[in-house]
Every structure is written in structure tokens, then in C-alpha cells.
Structure 1
Amino acid sequence: MDVGLSNKWVRWGLLNLAIVALYGTLMRYKIAYNFPFFEQKNLLHAHSHFAFGGWVSHLLYTGLTLLVTPFVTAGRRKQYQALVFLNLLGSFGMLVAFTIEGYKAVSIAFSTLSILVAVVFAGIFIRDRRCWPASHPSVPWAAGGLLLNVVSSAGPFSLAYMMATGNVDSSLYLGSIYFYLHFQYNGWFFLGSMALAAALLPPAFFSLKGYFRIFIIAAIPSFFLSVHWAGIPWWLYLATIMAALLQLGAWIVLLVRAKAWYHQNRPARPSYRKHLFFYAAAFALTIKFVLQALSAIPWLSRLVFGFRPIVIAYLHLVLLGVYSLFLIGYYVARQMIRITPVAKAAALLLLIGVICNELFLAVQGFAALAYIPVPFVNELLLGAAVLLLGGAAGLYISQYRKQKAGGY
């Protein structure tokens, strides 16, 4: 992928983030005030599918294409570029179709296109593994993430079948949603992000192969943390607990080792501000693994995750706090997001919006546990959404302003 085209894909990603934020703001406005246009459920479907496909998956596909480009032929590069384009096409198709009609034929068709892209991308990427240097640290993470991306598609296919036949089983419906979310959040998004992160690490960094094995093996049983309300057998429940604790332990050990290595090898003048989004994403991911481990406690899981604001707070913690911040930090580190005064202000505004959004959702959720009404919480959440929209839009616009790039 040539530099000009890759930078264009990154700018498309930033535009898509702004669109995701716009839909989030619109939904928050409909909750806080009267806005008769558009169905809220349709907006929610459009918002979530576009966030997954047009924002996170798009930049993961772009990043993996950039990594594989030096090792494959020009013809193969064009195939990867075509798949990135088709994923964008499917994402925008879902955005429009879900907004207008919800879960019906056109939206299902574009969703199927996105799934086909995932299957083909995984197939050719894994086949191209032999072209990579044997010691390249990104290969196992990328291949594992792409495989779990394909596995996650069983969820949407199950939902589409139920919608098409009109035979909707509530438990299967909910299980299909959680199946998709789990293998996206804990499979494709996590392993794909780790593949990109591994490519940034210096050659002298310690091996991550052992950690990869832990995370990919634990990804399967940890799914049942989401559905232990379905009455899973005791031995499977025990496996889910072990998987959650194993992932938390591996992540903490990885952080500790990385911190020790960094202190031994850090430059004379380290730039902490340049890596702010990486630190924030790592902190959010640590909270995510802790919450995941706590969800293994049945009564606590039923008590806490039975409240919609807490579930939404958790989902946004992972999507915004972990992967969105990481991807912005990654493309800043790759110098594919230009750091201008406007970009720095927008990035700070986005970070504040993420923090406020999580804080207000947590307050709303835990207040609901105690049946305590929180005045103006919907208006506060709308304000957080506006901050996210302003930050995302400003970051996108900053890439077109002719300003001299500066240090971060």
C-alpha cells in the first residue's frame, strides 16, 4: 500500500469515528429531549455496526495491510486494498440501511458483505504468513485475531436467520449478540491491536509468544462469562473462571515486565505526552480485565450487569477507552496522523469526552442499583457525547489544515 493511499485510509477512519460520535450524540439527544425523527433502535444498530466495521475494523485492516505490504507482490497488495475498500463499502451500506430500515434485507446484505471481507482477508493473510520473516512478532496475533473475527460472524448469521424466519428465541437471540461482541472485543479487536502494537516494539523487546498462547486459548472459554445465566455445567463454569483469571494475570505480568524493560532501556528524554493515548488505553484495558474477572461471580454479575447503563459503560470502556484510544495513538506513532495544534486540542477534547462518558455512565448505573435518581444525568451524557463529537471531528479536520506539524 503506497503512502498516499494509506494516509487516505487513515483519514477515512477518522471521518468514520466522527460519524460514530455524531450518531451517539443524536441518540443521546433523543433520550434527553424530544426528537421525533429516526427510530432509536435503528440508530443504535447503525451506530454499533459502523463503529465496529467503519472505525475499528477499518483501521485494523489498514494497519495489517501496511504490515504485510513489504512482504507480498504488487498484485497481492491490490487485493488487500480492494478488501479495505469493500469493508468500507459494507460499513457505509450498513450505516445507511440500518438508519432507514433497521434489521432487514438491505442491511443484512451489507452485513454479509462485511463478513465475506473478513473471511477473504483472513484467508489470504494467513496464506501469506510464509512470506513474513519467521521471527516477526505480529504474525501470530494478526492470524489469531483474523480467525476469531471470522468465528464472531456466527452471531450475526444467527440473528439474521431468526429475523428472516420470524422465529426469535430470546435466549438464542441474546446469546448470539454476546457471541459476536465477545469474539470481536476479546478476539479480533484485542489480538489485532496487539499485532499492531507488536510491530512498534524494538527488536530487543522480550518475546510475546507465550502471552499470545494464553490470550487466544482463554478467549474461547471466557465467552461463557457472558452467558452463564443460561445454566452452563459446573465444569464449563470453572473453565470460564480460570480463563478470566489467566487473562488478567497474563496482562498484569506483561505490563510489569514491559515497565521494567522500559525503565532499563528508556531514552534520555522520554516523551510521555506522545504516548498518552497508549497509557490511557492500557489503563482502560486493565480495568476491562478486572471487570471481566469479577463477572465470574454469579450474584455480582446478575446484580451489576443486569442494569443497562452499566453494560453500556462497559462496552464503551472497551470500544472507546481501549481500542479507539489505542488506534489513534498507533497512527500518531506511525506518523500517519499529523500532530498540529488543532490535532492536539482535538485529541485532548476526545480524551476528556471518553472520561466524562464513562464517569457519567458509571454514576447512572450505580445510582440505578440503589434506586437513586440522578438529576440531569441524560443532559450530562449528551454533553459528553458532544465532547466526543467535537474531538473526533476536530481530529479529522486537523489532517486537512495546512499547519506546521509539531512535537506532541
Structure 2
Amino acid sequence: MPKKLIVICLINFFISAVMGLALRYSFIGNIGFNYRFLTHAHSHVAMLGWVYLMLYVLIVHYFIPKRQTVFIKLFWVTQIAVIGMMFSFPFQGYAAISISFSTLHIFCSYYFVYLVWRYHNKQSLVPKYLLKTALIFMVLSTFGVWCLGPAVSMLGQASAFYQIAIQFFLHFQFNGWFLIAVVAVFFYLFKVENSKLFRYFYKLLILSTLLTLALPVHWFAPHNVLVYLNGIGVLLQLIVLYLFLRLVKPNYTQVLKQQPKLVAYLYGFAVICFVLKIILQLLSLLPEFSQVVYTHRNLVVGFIHLLMLGLITGFLFAFIVNSVLARFTRALYFGVISFLTGFILTEILLIIQGVRFYFGIGLLPNYYLLLFISSIFLPLGIGLILYNIITSKKMRKNY
């Protein structure tokens, strides 16, 4: 796993976390930036600079037999697109420069899909199916982006068409591309074999991902059919979770014996977040709960962070820590603990405040200050992990 590329991914994540910290500070002091513009920068760098590029590195490392130089060149072109978004969104939001760099990133992703399709390892059937499916969902998600321009010009940003296009992109990025790609790497490392059980898991995973799009669509274009489709999708996700645990269980003890305890804890943390995600989606079957989540931003942000910082990043950190690049020093342990502490504290605060808003109680005393202080642990943790990787000189032999 190329150290330089992992460092770049972690730097992107650190910058995104600092932007997130600034957004939290904006409620208690002046940050000198437009809040909405900085939010766009924060989300784009987190999704496209951290998760996307980290998955890029993992896919090339595990599934491309020969390290074609074209992948390295494409990585740097994609990183240029991320840097462009990093420095344009905070100052202009969605405008000519930021849109140009976003478009460049999309075209880079299309070329990446073509290259992986052409050069990937065809021997391992389970990762192959999951990887190809993740890439298809990634391409599918971008259709939502291409609809934004026509939606604005024809109906405006307040239209249901515009909002559904955004939700289409986000849903298939998070639940399709990101999640399934992470599972592909996880199953590869856990040596999950092709079986009847896996084929059930695979088919239900795809079907549930498609059907659960119905919930965000229902928010902007209400219809009873969408409620039923989402209900079926959520129930299928519950079965998917059960099958996921069954598929991993046979090799779980054996694989984890070969790995440090910190890796096992990170895997466990990510799986717990996976379970929580399914539970929250089950609660969305209750119409009142679904409406509460939609109308209270704290709960929406909390759910997005559960996916990004808990489930997805939990797995990504486990993959990094288990690589030859990480040394098990105090900096690494403090970094992981700091990040998890920040994540848990901010999630608790967001949930508590969301519930208080729902019952009309008002703000939690010193809420924004507490949220800001809790958020400090996130970039601190990322920074310590980044420091550990940068200063690592000796490679572990047990990789």
C-alpha cells in the first residue's frame, strides 16, 4: 500500500475535519467564511478527498495484480480536482471554478471505473462481484449530479426535482459505492468464499439499496407507494445484516488472531455502527420518526456522520492500521481513541439536541460550545494517526 498516497488521503481527511471544526465554531464566534460555502467544501473534501481516494488506493492495492502507472497518474489528477474544490468552495460555493473541479473529479472516476474493470483480479469471485457492483453504484450516483443543472434552470433549487437529484447522488454514494466497496475489501481480507449464502446476501444487498432510495424521495414527492417500497427495503437490510454476520463468522476468530487487538476493536466499532444504521432505518418505518429526522438537521447530520465517520471510516482506519505502514505507538492509540471519543461525544450531543427540539425544550445549555469542544478530538485523532504513518520507517513483518 503506497505510503505517500495514504498520507495524502489522511491529509485530505484532516483538512476536512478542521473545516468541520470551523463550522462548529461559527455558532460561537466569527470564522470569516460563508457557512454554506464552507459546508460544501467540508463535505466534498470528506467524501471525495478522503473516502473516495482511500477506496481508490485500497482497490488498486488489493484487486489490481499489476501496478499500472496509469493508476498513480490518475490518482494525482483526481487529487488536483480535490485541491481545486478545497480552495474554491469556501470562497464561492457552487460556481464556475468549483463546478469545473467537481466535473473533473467525476470524469476521473469514470476513467477509474474503466481501468478497474479492465485490470482487476478475476480470481476472487466474492470481491469481484461486490467491487463491480460498488463501481456501478458510483457511476449511477453521478446521474443525480448531471440532473442538478437542468433542475435549477427549469424549476429552481427549491424544487422537488433538485432536492431528489441531490438525495439520489448521496444515497448511492453512501449506501452503494462507499459501503459496498468497503464490504468488498472486508470480505477479501476475511476470505469469504462464494456460496449460496453469499449469493443471497449479494442479491438482497443490491435490492435493499435500490428500494431504500424511496425514503428520501418520499420527503420531497410524498406517495404511499414510496413508503411501502422503503419498508420492504429496510426489512431486507435487516436480513442483509444477519447474512453479513453469518458470512464473516466462520473466519472471524482465525483472521483476528493474526491481527493486532486495535484492528479487531476498529472492526467491531465499524460493525456496531452498521447495526445502528440498520436500527435507525428500521425506525424510519414509523411515519412520525421519519418526519422528525427530515425536519431536524441535528438528526440528519448525526445519521450522515454515523455512516461517514463511524461505519465507513471505522473500516478504513482498520485497513490502514492493519497495513505495514502503521506502528503501534502511543500516538496511534491516542489518535484512534481521540477520534472515536470525538465521534461518540458529537453523536450523543446531536441526538440529545434533536430530541430536545422535537419536544420543544430548546437548546441544551452551552450546546454549541460543548459540540465545538467535542469536535476538537476528531482532527486531533486524525492528526495523530497521520503523524504515526508519516514517521513510520520500519515495516511490520506480519502483514
Q: Which residue in 1 is equivalent to 2:76?
A: 85
Q: Which residue in 2 is equivalent to 1:209?
A: 199
Query: How many angstroms does 1:86 deviate by?
Result: 2.0
Q: Which residue in 2 is equivalent to 1:229?
A: 219
Equivalents in 2 of 1:367, 1:32: separation in Å?
20
Query: How many angstroms does 1:82 deviate by?
Result: 2.2
TM-score by length of 1: 0.89
Equivalents in 1 of 2:393, 2:54: separation in Å?
24
Q: Which residue in 2 is equivalent to 1:16?
A: 12
Query: How many angstroms does 1:128 deviate by?
Result: 3.3
Q: Structure 2: where are the runs of 5+ without partners? A: none
Q: Which residue in 2 is equivalent to 1:385?
A: 375
Q: Which residue in 2 is equivalent to 1:174?
A: 163
* 2:239 matches 1:249: yes
Q: May I ask how many residue pairs the two structures share in their alignment?
A: 395
* 2:155 matches 1:155: no
Greater shift, 40-49 or 334-343, is seen at 334-343
Query: How many angstroms does 1:401 deviate by?
Result: 2.8
Equivalents in 1 of 2:148, 2:225: separation in Å?
28
Letter in 2 for 1:64: I
Select which of 17, 22, 38 maps to 1:43.
Answer: 38
Secondary structure at the residue paired with 1:227?
helix
Distance 1:267 1:198, change over 3 A: closer
Check the 8 A contact 1:340/1:404 in 2, yes or no: no
Distance 1:394 1:161, change over 3 A: farther
CA deviation profile, 1:200-240 (whole Å, cap 9, x unmatched): 11366966333122111221121011121344554443222
Distance 1:254 1:400, change over 3 A: closer
Select which of 23, 32, 51 maps to 1:27.
Answer: 23
Distance 1:343 1:262, change over 3 A: closer
RMSD across aligned C-alpha pairs, in angstroms?
A: 2.4
Equivalents in 1 of 2:333, 2:301: separation in Å?
28
Secondary structure at the residue paired with 1:208?
helix
Secondary structure at the residue paired with 1:89?
helix
Secondary structure at the residue paired with 1:194?
helix
Distance 1:161 1:103, change over 3 A: farther
Equivalents in 1 of 2:241, 2:131: separation in Å?
18
Equivalents in 2 of 1:204, 1:108: separation in Å?
42
Equivalents in 2 of 1:102, 1:79: separation in Å?
32
Alignment of 1:2-401 (within 5 A): 3=1, 6-35=2-31, 37-70=32-65, 72=66, 77-129=68-120, 132-133=122-123, 135-163=124-152, 167-202=156-191, 208-231=198-221, 233-256=223-246, 258-259=248-249, 262=252, 265=254, 271-372=260-361, 373-401=363-391
Equivalents in 1 of 2:114, 2:357: separation in Å?
46
Check the 8 A contact 2:273/2:311 in 1, yes or no: yes
Equivalents in 2 of 1:150, 1:212: separation in Å?
19
Check the 8 A contact 2:7/2:390 in 1, yes or no: no
Letter in 2 for 1:67: Y
TM-score by length of 2: 0.91
Query: How many angstroms does 1:93 deviate by?
Result: 0.9
Equivalents in 1 of 2:40, 2:256: separation in Å?
46
Letter in 2 for 1:208: F
Equivalents in 1 of 2:297, 2:39: separation in Å?
14
Query: How many angstroms does 1:300 deviate by?
Result: 1.9
Equivalents in 1 of 2:341, 2:229: separation in Å?
38
Query: How many angstroms does 1:272 deviate by?
Result: 3.6
Query: How many angstroms does 1:402 deviate by?
Result: 5.6
Letter in 2 for 1:57: Y
Letter in 1 for 2:284: S
Q: Structure 1: where are the runs of 5+ without partners? A: none
Letter in 2 for 1:79: V
Query: How many angstroms does 1:156 deviate by?
Result: 2.1
Distance 1:115 1:204, change over 3 A: closer
Check the 8 A contact 1:65/1:81 in 2, yes or no: no
CA deviation profile, 1:67-116 (whole Å, cap 9, x unmatched): 2331x4x6xx1222222222211111111110111100111111111111
Equivalents in 1 of 2:222, 2:157: separation in Å?
21
Equivalents in 1 of 2:322, 2:111: separation in Å?
29
Greater shift, 160-169 or 172-181, is seen at 160-169
Distance 1:285 1:331, change over 3 A: same
Equivalents in 2 of 1:268, 1:258: separation in Å?
14
Equivalents in 2 of 1:243, 1:64: separation in Å?
28
Equivalents in 2 of 1:200, 1:66: separation in Å?
12
Secondary structure at the residue paired with 1:220?
helix
Query: How many angstroms does 1:253 deviate by?
Result: 3.3
Check the 8 A contact 2:191/2:251 in 1, yes or no: no
Equivalents in 1 of 2:367, 2:251: separation in Å?
43
Equivalents in 1 of 2:119, 2:358: separation in Å?
51
Equivalents in 1 of 2:379, 2:283: separation in Å?
32
